[in-house]
Amino acid sequence: MSLKDAFGAVLALKKREVTYTRPLSPTSVVVTIIVHPAVYTRSFEGPSEMSVDAREWVIQKSVLEEVSFPIPPKRGDRITDAELGTFAVDEVHPMYDLGGAVIGYRVRSG
């Protein structure tokens, strides 16, 4: 089993189907993909008692390639989960295998 296969097997244990959108002018790119919630979440108070939720997901590069989504994910993309709501992507960090190839992305919103 390759590291890429092991990565996919571990991520398959915890997955959510979401709509992933890249807003563009004049048209947007919208796909339905599987993402994997990371253990990182936070909720903190902002100005005027405004509550801010932050989430983090892991997205396999191969999942984006399968649906022909422009790689890499970018700041401003939107993740819409039927239960959790819509989140704007703030940060994208590539994830590498042992050879240095990108196999996924850690995507944060906040």
CATH number for the domain spanning 82: value is 2.40.10
Q: Are 29 and 19 in contact (CB under 8 A)?
A: no
**How far is 87 from 19, CA to CA, in rounded Å?**
11
Domain limits for position 83: 3-109
User: What's the mean pLDDT when you consider all of the chain?
Assistant: 85
Residues of the chain above pLDDT 90, percent: 55
pLDDT tens digits, 1-23: 677 777 777 777 778 999 999 99
Confidence of residue 38 (pLDDT cuts 50, 70, 90): confident
Overall size of the chain counted in residues: 110
Give phi and psi for 67, each to the nearest 5: -100, 10
Half-sphere exposure of 27 (CA within 13 A, CB side): 2
On the question of pLDDT at 36 being above 60, the answer is yes
* Helix/strand/coil (H/E/C) assignment for every residue in 61-88: HHHHHHCCCCCCCCCCCEEEECCCEEEE
User: Domains in the chain: how many in total?
Assistant: 1
